[in-house]
């Protein structure tokens, strides 16, 4: 399930980034790359596990769903930290100056 969730997040983020492409002020390209990287990593993991061990290709249960939500939350947290550091609107600079 986490593969499906990260792939869906990657597609949604990519579409939003593409619509806003000329002006990537909020670094949606970075968020998209984070989600695509996770999706590709788990796709390779699923394919290799399926070829070597067999069984079901996708796990659809509560644990897999919670893992998917955790990964999406962590990716969004990393993205927010990058946004705070880059401060695209200059809000933190104004607040810190007083």
Tens of pLDDT along 78-97?
999 999 888 888 888 888 88
Q: Is the dihedral of CA 85, 31, 44, 57 positive or negative?
A: positive
Neighbours of 75 (CB within 10 A): 20
Domain that holds residue 65: 2-97
Task: Tell me which residue has tokens 């796709």.
Answer: 43
Number of domains in the chain: 1
Predicted pLDDT at 96: 82
Q: What is the pLDDT of residue 91?
A: 82
Which positions of the chain have pLDDT values less than 50? none
Quote the tokens at residue 8: 């869906």
State the Cα angle at 31 between 27 and 45, rounded to 5°. 160
Q: What tokens were used for 66?
A: 């919670």
């Amino acid at each position: 399930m986490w593969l499906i969730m990260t792939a869906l997040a990657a597609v949604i983020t990519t579409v939003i980034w593409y619509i806003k492409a000329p002006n990537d002020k909020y670094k949606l390209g970075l968020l998209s790359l984070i989600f695509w990287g996770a999706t590709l990593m788990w796709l390779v993991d699923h394919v290799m596990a399926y070829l070597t061990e067999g069984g079901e290709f996708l796990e659809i249960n509560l644990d897999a769903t919670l893992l998917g939500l955790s990964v999406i939350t962590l990716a969004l947290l990393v993205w927010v930290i990058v946004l705070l550091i880059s401060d695209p609107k200059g809000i933190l600079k104004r607040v810190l100056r007083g």
